[in-house]
Amino acid sequence: MFIKAAEEKEIAPGGMKAFALGGRDIVLCNCGGAFYAVERACGHAGVRLERGALTGWILTCPLHYAQFDIRTGEALSGPAPKPGESKHPDPAAPALATKDLKAWPVKTEGGVIFVDLQ
């Protein structure tokens, strides 16, 4: 069931905005006029993703730079290595794990954004 989340004009192209909707914290993303909804907490460290960067359909966490596909919620990369390191010493370490984000279907009608939280 789709629930009204926001008006399109509230989120500029390339922008994001966090909302509490149906008991869930989500981030609505505007990628060239197409809207996507993903969970608000980073799949690595739980950081608020609306404080990150949206480049096309790639959402980058502001803390450790994990990246996610806003179309699917898929984790594209884990946290970035520390300055001066070419890679993390143990990429399989649990502290470096990054889970996919929950993503929800979105539709727009008459300038209004609706999210299906089921």
Position 93 scores a pLDDT of 57
Between 96 and 11, residue with greater pLDDT: 11
The pLDDT score that the predictor gives to residue 70 is 98
**What 3-state class would DSSP assign to 20?**
strand
Sign of CA dihedral 96, 99, 100, 103: negative
Q: How confident is the model at residue 92 (pLDDT cuts 50, 70, 90)?
A: low
In the numeric block, the tokens 């966090």 are attached to 18
* CATH architecture group of domain 2-116: 3-layer Sandwich (2.102)
pLDDT of residue 97: 74
Q: Where are the domains of the chain?
A: 2-116
pTM of the model: 0.85
Pairwise CA distance, residues 102 & 26, whole Å: 9
- The residue assigned the tokens 């006029």 is 33
